[in-house]
């Protein structure tokens, strides 16, 4: 399919890119990062991989589901692309929301959207109606493809003119696919056309949409995956992060397909269940949070098939790293990435790992530590982590672009030190983001949810250390009647929060106060709450 005339191409994303002088400096030093002007990452990850490795290879496994070959995924994705273009009126540049857990059908939808030249906006299936409406307000969605089991909560989108089409059942999208051909001429997108919008939450609680190009999707495969992870076509991947988290999108989908390998898609699994899946499918490469690795060890897992384990989302303690090595013989690859960067940009593997360190800059990226004035600090001195490479932050029409990109560097919001050998050591988050079991939770978003309760006069939310989860969300609440509160009232507020925001964000600890600590000018003193906690 040729690119449609410009009058039939939706240019919303391109028109809402930040001004070029606010972009980070992009570097393409590795030869594999020099992509052609015309590039569709879906073509590269499916059609081109099949041409190299064959169509009959296993591609997608899932518990209780027949394995899909590469040919099966390609045919399903092509049929989805036909339905989007022929029946649903999708044109290049349209934003298509995807809602559902990791499974073969949402994978086919993801590829179908990109083959049609549209922009994938993948979301957590647990997001509530109000959260989805905020995403629509930012991204101006044109269509939503929703797993038939997760239609509840999308009513607000439908009321705002977004067409909701179910997939995974007998009706909706799957009915449209019945008579579609298994071939499709992928839209010849430009390498710098937007392929996906990845949403992240900042300290204000309002989501930010980061725009990533088709070349960016391949760049994370040609940097971290190619040079640090180094998978082969015989590997079997799995992981718990959903596609909505770019850590999961890369580790569970992009990296295995880029290598011609297969992946086990997990809709939901406890660490014990994840260990059983690893054993059942002979998984060689796993992506999950440090707390999950620790829990698998506590359950006695030995994971004999595992060759590589990747950890991100929160700090990996040296004790957990060593315990996992002792039990399994596998050195966990720690890493730090960001939604703004799409995936991991600091991390080391094998003998290059220094326990307790996050690692060195991934080939293709440059990283350093800066002071508050933007000057590089000497080794051993803490400062702001700064990074640049082939990917970088481009927020969709958001003034916070100026905060994240400074002097050409992406400023991640983390405090690090580095040593003389270029190894980076995590010290703390620089903002009010709470990282619990690998999930990023913005404290102000939880506060906003609690403040909707008629009996909450004011509240403040912080993260408190927790051995199992890394951090717990704790809410300090002042009630309207200034009563001391009770365990029953705390449970009521927790249940109320779960109705307003995704359940994983709710405060697991609620403490009632007569008043919040404030300065003479009324500014909340969060540091005092953290000290007391």
210-223: string of b/e by CB count within 10 Å (b at 16+)?
A: bbbbbbbbbbbbbb
**Are 95 and 118 in contact, with CB atoms under 8 Å apart?**
yes
Can you give the pLDDT of all 533 residues of the chain as single tens digits? Answer: 333 434 468 999 999 999 999 999 999 999 999 999 999 999 999 999 999 999 999 999 999 999 999 999 999 999 999 999 999 999 999 999 999 999 999 999 999 999 999 999 999 998 999 999 999 999 999 999 999 999 999 999 999 999 999 999 999 999 999 999 999 999 999 999 999 999 986 444 688 999 999 999 999 999 999 999 999 999 999 999 999 999 999 999 999 999 999 999 999 999 999 999 999 999 999 999 888 998 899 899 999 999 999 998 777 878 889 999 999 999 999 999 999 999 999 999 999 999 889 999 999 999 999 999 999 999 999 999 999 999 999 999 999 999 999 999 999 988 899 999 999 998 877 666 788 888 878 787 888 789 889 999 889 999 998 888 888 999 999 998 878 899 999 999 999 999 999 999 999 999 999 999 976 545 678 778 888 77
The helix/strand/coil state of 244 is coil
| pTM for the model | 0.88
Structural domains of the chain, with CATH: 6-418 (3.40.50.12780), 433-532 (3.30.300.30)
* Bridge-based pairing state of the strands 344-347 and 332-337: antiparallel
Q: Which of 242, 366, 376, 369 is nearest to 313 (CA)?
A: 242
Label each residue of 387-434 as H, E or C: EEECCCCCECCCCCHHHHEECCEEEEEEEEEECCCCCEEEEEECCCEE
Quote the CA–CA distance of 294 and 318 in Å, as a whole number.
11
How is 462-473 classified by DSSP, letter by letter? EEEEETTTEEEE
* Bridge-based pairing state of the strands 143-147 and 163-167: parallel
Residue position matching structure tokens 């989302």: 313
Residue position matching structure tokens 């991390």: 347
Query: Any alpha helices (H) in 8-99, and if so which ranges?
Result: 12-15, 41-42, 48-53, 70-82
The helix/strand/coil state of 493 is helix
Quote the CA–CA distance of 321 and 152 in Å, as a whole number.
40
The helix/strand/coil state of 65 is strand
The helix/strand/coil state of 354 is coil
């Amino acid at each position: 399919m040729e690119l449609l005339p410009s009058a039939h191409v939706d240019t919303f994303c391109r028109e809402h890119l930040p001004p070029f002088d606010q972009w980070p400096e992009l570097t393409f030093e590795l030869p594999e990062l020099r992509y052609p002007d015309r590039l569709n990452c879906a073509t590269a990850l499916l059609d081109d991989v099949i041409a190299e490795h064959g169509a009959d290879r296993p591609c997608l496994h899932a518990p209780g589901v027949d394995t899909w070959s590469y040919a099966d995924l390609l045919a399903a994705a092509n049929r989805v692309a036909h339905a989007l273009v022929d029946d649903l009126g999708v044109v290049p540049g349209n934003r298509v929301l995807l809602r559902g857990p990791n499974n073969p059908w949402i994978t086919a939808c993801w590829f179908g959207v990109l083959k049609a030249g549209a922009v994938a906006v993948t979301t957590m299936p647990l997001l509530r109606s109000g959260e989805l409406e905020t995403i629509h307000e930012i991204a101006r969605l044109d269509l939503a493809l929703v797993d038939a089991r997760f239609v509840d909560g999308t009513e607000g989108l439908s009321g705002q003119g977004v067409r909701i089409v179910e997939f995974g059942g007998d009706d909706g999208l799957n009915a449209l696919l019945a008579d579609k051909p298994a071939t499709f001429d992928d839209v010849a997108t430009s390498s710098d056309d937007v392929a996906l919008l990845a949403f992240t939450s900042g300290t204000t609680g309002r989501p930010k949409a980061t725009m990533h190009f088709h070349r960016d999707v391949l760049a994370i495969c040609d940097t971290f995956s190619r040079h640090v992870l180094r998978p082969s076509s015989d590997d079997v991947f799995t992981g718990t992060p959903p596609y909505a988290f770019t850590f999961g999108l890369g580790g569970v989908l992009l990296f295995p397909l880029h290598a011609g390998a297969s992946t086990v898609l997990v809709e939901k699994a406890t660490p014990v269940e994840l260990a059983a899946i690893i054993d059942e499918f002979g998984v060689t490469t796993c992506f999950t949070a440090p707390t999950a690795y620790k829990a698998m060890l506590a359950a006695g897992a030995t994971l004999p098939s595992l060759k590589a384990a990747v950890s991100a989302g929160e700090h990996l303690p040296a004790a957990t790293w060593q315990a996992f090595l002792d039990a399994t013989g596998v050195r966990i690859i720690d890493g730090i990435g960001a939604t703004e960067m799409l995936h991991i940009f600091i991390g080391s593997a094998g003998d290059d790992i220094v326990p307790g360190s996050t690692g060195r800059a991934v080939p293709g990226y440059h990283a350093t530590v800066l002071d508050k004035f933007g000057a590089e600090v000497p080794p051993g001195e803490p400062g702001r982590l700064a990074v640049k490479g082939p990917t970088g932050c481009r927020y969709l029409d958001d003034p916070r672009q100026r905060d994240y990109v400074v002097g050409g560097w992406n400023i991640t919001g983390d405090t690090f030190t580095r040593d003389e050998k270029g190894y980076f050591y995590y010290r703390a988050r620089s903002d009010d983001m709470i990282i619990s079991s690998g999930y990023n939770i913005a404290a102000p978003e939880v506060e906003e949810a609690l403040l909707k309760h008629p009996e909450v006069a004011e509240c403040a939310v912080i993260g408190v250390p927790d051995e199992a989860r890394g951090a717990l969300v704790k809410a300090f609440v002042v009630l309207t009647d200034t009563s001391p509160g009770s365990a029953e009232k705390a449970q009521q507020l927790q249940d109320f929060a779960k109705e307003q925001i995704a359940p994983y964000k709710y405060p697991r600890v609620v403490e009632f106060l007569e008043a919040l600590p404030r300065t003479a000018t009324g500014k909340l003193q969060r540091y005092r709450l953290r000290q007391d906690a």
